[in-house]
Amino acid sequence: MSIFTKISVLGAIWIALELVMGVFHKSVCTSSGCTIAASYNRYPEFVMLTIGLLLFIVLGILKEKKKEKLLDIILIGALGSEGYLQGFEIFVAHTFCIFCTVTFLIILTLFIIRIKENKDILLKGLSAFLFVFATVFLVNNPTLEIKHQYTLLYLPGCPHCEHTEKFLDDIHVKYNKINASHHKGLIMSMGIDEVPVLFVREPYGYKVLVGSDSIESFFKNTTKSLQNQQASPRALDNNSLNIGGGCQLNNIFGSSCSK
């Protein structure tokens, strides 16, 4: 078995592991970046994972059967696809997905191995990746930039948003505000259908808190650390968690706001 085939098998095992863990609602990726990236999928995650699994299996089979020409075509196509996925992750989703990155590195390793065997694919593969990667940057103008430690998505007139803003101001938390009405499509594509939403920056992505209840609960559970970092925060009201959840993105009036 060639080194190329062995790496292909490793890639298949990596994808299969994620598939199996998905059955138990778990993931090899523990960062919220993976969750955010997966939320953009048009189809269920297991469909995308199955495609990835088949890719590595086919690459390994083609290598063993010495179908070099077809192997190179599929590998270059896979590298081009990774150009889109990596570009989307960086320029559109603004997150870091460990699972996606490891998968990309496995495909890149296969490509490097093939270069040693067939130098003709070097320019083709790099061109496919870079052209698609650059196209994502040029075409997908970022519409929702989340770069601060705390970023709050809100809607004007949403009582829960106003309460959350007051809560954050009272405990002296510095945060950036983004009007969700300007980015409804993008936000809802992430599986979020109500505000307020607070993005909390983490080393490998973001923690996403939806609704005033979860936002206040998060800070209640970290009161001690806040007291060490902030100047004289107010005592948290034990009843503040009963304020409510949030307001629907499609309509902020009437029954669309939970109590």
In a domain, residue 145? The reply is: no
Count CB atoms within 10 A of the CB of residue 233: 15
In a domain, residue 203? The reply is: yes
- How far, in Å, CA of 30 to CA of 203, rounded? 11
Q: What is the pLDDT along the chain (259 residues), one digit of tens a residue?
A: 899 999 999 999 999 999 999 888 888 887 666 766 776 677 778 899 999 999 999 999 999 999 999 999 999 999 999 999 998 888 776 677 889 999 999 999 999 999 999 999 999 999 999 999 999 888 765 456 667 889 999 988 889 999 999 999 998 899 999 888 777 766 776 778 888 999 888 776 678 888 888 898 888 876 655 455 544 443 333 333 333 477 776 553 333 566 5
Count CB atoms within 10 A of the CB of residue 120: 10
What is the domain range of residue 112? 3-139
Structure-token pair, residue 208: 């996403």
In a domain, residue 144? The reply is: no
Q: What is the value of pTM for the model shown? A: 0.62
Instruction: Name the domain count of the chain.
Output: 2
- How far, in Å, CA of 15 to CA of 67, rounded? 23
Query: CB–CB of 22/46 below 8 Å?
Result: yes
The identity of residue 27, as a single letter, is: S
Query: 155 and 206 share a domain?
Result: yes
CATH for 8? 1.20.1440.130
In a domain, residue 129? The reply is: yes
